[in-house]
């Protein structure tokens, strides 16, 4: 079974760039059968999909965040990453990575989540 | 913008009772890409149902999904103590690519 683990700074200053990495174990990120997604959840609120990447490098982003988001993949380390620029307090959330089977329309395995707080 | 509206916001029931959670879409689904997740405090969401009615691996058969078009339902036939949690519905659209979640239904012990 695939396992995912988010990592990165828990505190980011306003206007700076949030950076998180998701490490995949129990499976290869090079599998062409999956996309690799990022989702976030502000405290006490619902879930928001941020975007995803395929091993080919093809990406899809949430239109509302597209201008600030970059998702990349590193097959040599079995990791994929999220960068969110120009952050504000509204970007404070738990960030999850998840597997996204192609042509399936759901997210089946999730990491435990990483809390990122935007504050000076 | 496509919106998923879940009702009720909070559902208070007792163990052993039947739970019916609703998810309404502002636009009809052209495919069967509708999923349900369960989330407990401090945990990541867990996939319960995908493709409207297929149970994910390891999900007990007391959980079932149904619906089509703009109206979808998650039913828990007999509530167990571990079922009290927040439930989210989610749709996937291909053009443009987008995952949209409902705002959640909190299932609490009465």
Q: How far, CA to CA in Å, does B85 sit from each of A105, B16, B99? A: 23, 15, 22
What's the mean per-residue pLDDT of chain B?
96
**What 3-state DSSP class applies to A14?**
coil
- Answer whether A73's CB lies under 8 Å from A106's CB: no
- pLDDT tens, A77-109? 999 999 999 999 999 999 999 999 988 999 999
Choose, out of A2, A66, A105, A109, the residue to mutate when testing the contact with B (most B CBs < 10 Å): A105
| CB atoms B91 and A108 under 8 Å | no
Q: Which among A118, A109, A114 is positioned nearest to A26, based on CA atoms?
A: A109
Per the DSSP assignment, residues forming a β-bridge with B24 are: B5, B71
| CB atoms B45 and A47 under 8 Å | yes
Element spanning B75, H or E: strand B71-76
| CB atoms A105 and B88 under 8 Å | no
| CB atoms B46 and A110 under 8 Å | yes
pLDDT level of residue A116 (50, 70, 90 thresholds): very high
In A, which residues are within 8 Å of B34 by CB distance?
105
Per the DSSP assignment, residues forming a β-bridge with A99 are: A36
| CB atoms A104 and B103 under 8 Å | no
Q: How far is B80 from chain A (nearest CA, A)?
A: 23
- pLDDT tens, B58-72? 999 999 999 999 999
- Answer whether A67's CB lies under 8 Å from A78's CB: no
- pLDDT tens, A16-64? 999 999 999 999 999 889 999 999 999 999 999 999 999 999 999 999 9
Q: How far is B19 from chain A (nearest CA, A)?
A: 21
pLDDT of residue B87: 98
Phi-psi region of B52 (alpha: psi -120 to 50; beta: other; left: phi over 0): left
Q: Which among B98, B82, B99 is positioned nearest to B90, based on CA atoms?
A: B99
pLDDT of residue A68: 98
- Report how far residue A2's alpha carbon sits from residue A15's, in angstroms, rounded to the nearest whole number: 34
User: What's the angle, vertex CA A20, arms to CA A14 and CA A25, rounded to 5?
Assistant: 165
- Answer whether A108's CB lies under 8 Å from A99's CB: yes
- Report how far residue B102's alpha carbon sits from residue B88's, in angstroms, rounded to the nearest whole number: 6
């Amino acid at each position: 079974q695939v396992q995912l683990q988010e990592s990165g700074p828990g505190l980011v200053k306003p206007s700076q760039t949030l950076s998180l990495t998701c490490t995949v174990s129990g499976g290869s990120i090079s599998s062409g059968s999956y996309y690799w997604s990022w989702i976030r959840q502000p405290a006490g609120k619902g879930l928001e999909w941020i975007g995803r990447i395929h091993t080919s490098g093809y990406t899809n982003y949430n239109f509302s965040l597209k201008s600030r988001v970059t998702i990349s993949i590193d097959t040599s380390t079995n990791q994929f990453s999220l960068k969110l620029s120009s952050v504000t307090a509204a970007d404070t959330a738990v960030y999850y990575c998840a597997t996204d089977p192609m042509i399936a329309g759901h997210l089946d395995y999730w990491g435990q989540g990483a809390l990122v707080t935007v504050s000076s | 913008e496509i919106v998923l509206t879940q009702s009720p916001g909070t559902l208070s029931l007792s163990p052993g009772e039947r739970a019916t959670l609703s998810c309404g879409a502002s636009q009809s689904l052209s495919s069967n890409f509708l999923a349900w997740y369960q989330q407990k405090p401090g945990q990541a969401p867990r996939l319960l149902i995908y493709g409207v009615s297929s149970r994910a691996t390891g999900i007990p058969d007391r959980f079932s999904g149904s619906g089509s078009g703009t109206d979808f339902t998650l039913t828990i036939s007999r509530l167990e103590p571990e079922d009290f949690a927040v439930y989210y519905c989610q749709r996937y659209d291909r053009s443009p690519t987008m995952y949209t979640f409902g705002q959640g239904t909190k299932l609490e012990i009465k």
